[in-house]
A = this chain, B = another copy of it.
């Protein structure tokens, strides 16, 4: 069964070169990088190589600023809880936005029950935080600002550099959840001015369940996983070496192929946006026209449910998503879309189309044709649509 994957935001395929090095690592049976004999040293060298590739992709000052984790969620938990606990003597106030991923929201909720206070900033109707709001929210108790780089339901990116200038000036630690950006768009931690940056390997076409955290040297943070001295004493636990080796290769390729990928993604995105009006009508585009990822288009289709569209497209072997895979099972409308000012009904009609290097222009044509049929079918049976058309 060949499935057209337009749900890259939930899962990207591994690149052939990434598969190759992961399989090699499995065959090779690396020993433990913490062991001091020769077998351990080979493992250490492989780990170091991956760390250097990741540091190069983000333009870190030293590979030591990269801590490998079990994925974006662990990285975010580490950043937020680690900074909170290490700095609570200075203050217990944290600033975030209303459109963060659940990993951020729930980590902060956990801290709230330990006496931390959180200011959650609104976004404007285009889905962006105002840097001025961040500046105004900072108090003498503020120890951390955590604002995502890009949103996984809209693709809209945030003014991270401008916020970074503010946090540097005010000497507040700045974390950005860049799980959906690193590997997709050029990311330079010096330029962005962040102290902490969370990323996930799968966004680079590396394996799921692997990721990392950039920790700028000198940032006061505790480990989330206490134990051994791995990862320069910042993250205990035997390393997922197979996954980390795959991540290193994926980082190397992302850096090498970034320009080529951006052109390809932009072509597909333009194709969707320009052809969509010929396929369907009455929809809202949730993705920012200028400040957004090149690999994602979010639309809210009026009078029908995104979930029904997703399931009917699935029957045609086309995978799309309606919202963050991590929130699957929740019946509530997305907090992200409601934050943009969408009505509950419109939010429920949302479809997230996310694509990658493995998609072609033909995939988009197939998708748009299928979407046209699905929307027509669903609207034909939609009481809401009948009512509105009679007005």
Contact = CB atoms under 8 A, between A and B. Distances in A.
Interface of A: 1, 3, 5, 7, 10-11, 13-14, 19, 22-23, 26-27, 29-32, 34-40, 43, 69-74, 76-77, 85, 101-103, 106-107, 109-110, 200, 202, 207-210, 222, 224-230, 236-244, 307, 310-311, 313-314, 317, 319-321, 324-330
A241 B208 contact: yes
A85 B70 CA distance: 22
30 contacts: A1-B38, A7-B37, A7-B39, A11-B30, A11-B35, A11-B39, A14-B29, A22-B242, A32-B325, A35-B325, A36-B311, A36-B321, A37-B313, A37-B314, A70-B225, A70-B237, A71-B237, A73-B238, A74-B225, A77-B224, A77-B225, A77-B236, A101-B227, A103-B225, A209-B241, A210-B240, A228-B324, A228-B327, A238-B325, A238-B326
A110 B311 contact: no
A19 B23 CA distance: 9
A103 B236 contact: yes
A242 B201 CA distance: 13
Given A73-B238, A226-B106, A326-B230, A3 B208 contact: no
Given A70-B74, A70-B225, A101-B227, 14 more contacts: A3-B38, A7-B31, A7-B37, A10-B31, A19-B27, A36-B310, A36-B314, A69-B70, A72-B238, A73-B237, A76-B227, A77-B225, A102-B227, A209-B242
Instruction: Please indicate which of the listed interface residues A73, A101, A109, A307 has the most CB atoms of chain B within 10 Å of its own CB.
Output: A73
B225 A328 contact: no
Nearest to A33: B325
Nearest to A325: B34
B3 A39 contact: yes
A19 B327 CA distance: 32
B209 A238 contact: yes
Contact of A228 (B27, B103, B225): B103
Cβ-closest 7 pairs across A and B: A209-B240, A228-B326, A73-B237, A103-B227, A70-B70, A106-B226, A34-B325
B74 A209 contact: no
A10 B32 contact: yes
A314 B241 CA distance: 22
Copies per complex of this chain: 2
A36 B107 CA distance: 25
A207 B328 contact: no
A102 B72 CA distance: 25
Contacts of A313: 37
Contacts of A228: 73, 102-103, 324-327
Contacts of A311: 36-37
Nearest to A101: B227
Contacts of A107: 226-227
A296 to B, nearest CB: 15
A206 to B, nearest CB: 11
Contact of A202 (B102, B207, B238, B310): B238
A340 to B, nearest CB: 21
Contacts of A237: 70-74, 103, 209
B239 A209 contact: yes
A229 B329 contact: yes
A355 to B, nearest CB: 14
Contacts of A71: 237-238, 240
A348 to B, nearest CB: 15
Nearest to A241: B208
A243 B209 contact: yes
B34 A242 contact: no
Given A37-B319, A73-B225, A326-B230, A236 B106 contact: yes
